[in-house]
């Protein structure tokens, strides 16, 4: 048994269950779990609330100018057993998951200045290791020296169906085709943007969970962490 801690970086496409895996791994190993997408979502919510996204047009320079006004924090919620996201002191965990934010977050995440601010915060959170962070650029940019990097994926149709089921269960009025379109559009923007595009780090292990049960993929991921812990 070893008590050294590692950094686990989990990247991949949207809605492929990265956060679920990250959260479960963190719980299993007593690590901190950070959903970095929540940070880009919180910035997007700020932009929406301040009319910086009007008629689909993002006021890029104004958002960059407002970055110093945007404070993002995570606080542990003992009921849901996960971190809630706070924007300037307000719990926005629910609101950042809703469609208006999902539909506007990709362009916000393409802004290099927004990314630089988020990456700085993320690196600060991981400086003592013992962290599992999921996102798009965690293994490539945020923690290029992470001891374990996973790249998670699944087909767009399967991801859309999962997202659809999730939103329906929450009582939201959404259509499958709208969600599928949103998933594909986000894949496209995330992988073709100039600033830190989504790509697999050379040393990341691929986990395609299209046809895996939650238990199967967790068993695989836990084994990978244990291997890395045994490496020392
Ligand atoms: O994982 P998610 O769907 O909550 O991410 C929301 C958006 O933020 C998505 O468009 C990709 C972007 N993102 C990013 O660019 N870099 C990250 N590290 C995490 C998310």
CA 9–ligand 1 middle distance (angstroms) = 14
Residue 193 CA, closest ligand 1 atom number: 15
Q: Report the distance separating Cα 179 and Cα 167, nearest Å.
A: 10
Look at residue 55 in the predicted model and tell me its pLDDT.
75
Look at residue 2 in the predicted model and tell me its pLDDT.
55
What does the block give as tokens for 118?
């988020």
CA 219–ligand 1 middle distance (angstroms) = 25
Q: Which of 14, 100, 133 should be mutated for ligand 1, with most atoms under 8 A from CB? A: 14
Look at residue 27 in the predicted model and tell me its pLDDT.
93
Strand ordering across the sheet containing 72-77: 72-77, 82-87, 90-91
Q: Report the distance separating Cα 158 and Cα 102, nearest Å.
A: 18
CA atoms within 13 A on the CB side of 155: 6
Q: Which of 9, 48, 94, 109 should be mutated for ligand 1, with most atoms under 8 A from CB? A: 109
CATH number for the region 7-231 comes to 3.40.50.300
CA 37–ligand 1 middle distance (angstroms) = 4
Which residue ranges of the chain lie beneath pLDDT 70? Answer: 1-2, 232
Look at residue 66 in the predicted model and tell me its pLDDT.
97
Q: Report the distance separating Cα 118 and Cα 112, nearest Å.
A: 10
List the residue whose alpha carbon is closest to atom 5 of ligand 1.
Answer: 37
Are the beta carbons of 191 and 199 closer than 8 angstroms? yes
What is the phi/psi pair of residue 145, to 5°? -100, 15
Residue 186 CA, closest ligand 1 atom number: 10
Are the beta carbons of 182 and 190 closer than 8 angstroms? no
What does the block give as tokens for 215?
């238990």
DSSP 8-state assignment for residue 205: E
Query: CB within 6 Å of ligand 1 — which residues?
Result: 14, 36-37, 40-41, 105-106, 109, 135-138, 186, 190
CA 150–ligand 1 middle distance (angstroms) = 16
Strand ordering across the sheet containing 32-35: 32-35, 131-135, 7-12, 148-153, 205-208
The pTM (predicted TM-score) of the whole model is: 0.90
CA 32–ligand 1 middle distance (angstroms) = 19
What is the phi/psi pair of residue 58, to 5°? -90, 125
Residue 189 CA, closest ligand 1 atom number: 10
List the residue whose alpha carbon is closest to atom 14 of ligand 1.
Answer: 136
Annotated domain spans of the chain: 7-231
Determine the 3-state secondary structure of 76 from DSSP.
strand
Are the beta carbons of 63 and 117 closer than 8 angstroms? no
Residue 41 CA, closest ligand 1 atom number: 6
Q: Report the distance separating Cα 13 and Cα 183, nearest Å.
A: 9
CA 103–ligand 1 middle distance (angstroms) = 12
DSSP run (H or E) holding 134: strand 131-135
DSSP 8-state assignment for residue 196: S
């Amino acid at each position: 048994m070893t008590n050294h801690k590692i950094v686990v970086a989990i990247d991949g496409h949207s809605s492929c269950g990265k956060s679920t895996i990250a959260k479960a791994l963190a719980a299993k190993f007593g690590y901190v779990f950070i959903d970095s997408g929540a940070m880009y979502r919180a910035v997007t919510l700020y932009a929406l609330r301040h009319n910086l996204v009007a008629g689909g047009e993002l006021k890029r320079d104004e958002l960059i100018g407002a970055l110093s006004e945007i404070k993002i924090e995570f606080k542990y919620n003992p009921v849901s057993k996960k971190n809630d996201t706070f924007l300037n002191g307000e719990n926005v965990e629910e609101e950042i998951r809703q469609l208006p934010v999902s539909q506007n977050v990709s362009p916000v995440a393409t802004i290099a200045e927004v990314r630089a601010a988020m990456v700085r915060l993320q690196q600060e959170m991981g400086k003592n290791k013992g962290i599992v962070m999921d996102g798009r650029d965690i293994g490539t940019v945020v923690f290029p020296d992470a001891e374990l990097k996973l790249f998670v994926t699944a087909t767009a149709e399967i991801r859309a169906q999962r997202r659809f089921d999730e939103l329906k269960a929450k009582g939201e009025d959404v259509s499958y085709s709208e969600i599928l379109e949103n998933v594909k559009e986000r894949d496209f923007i995330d992988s073709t943007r100039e600033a830190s595009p989504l790509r697999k780090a050379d040393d990341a292990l691929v986990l395609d969970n299209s046809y895996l049960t939650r238990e199967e993929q967790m068993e695989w991921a836990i084994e990978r962490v244990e291997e890395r812990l045994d490496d020392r």
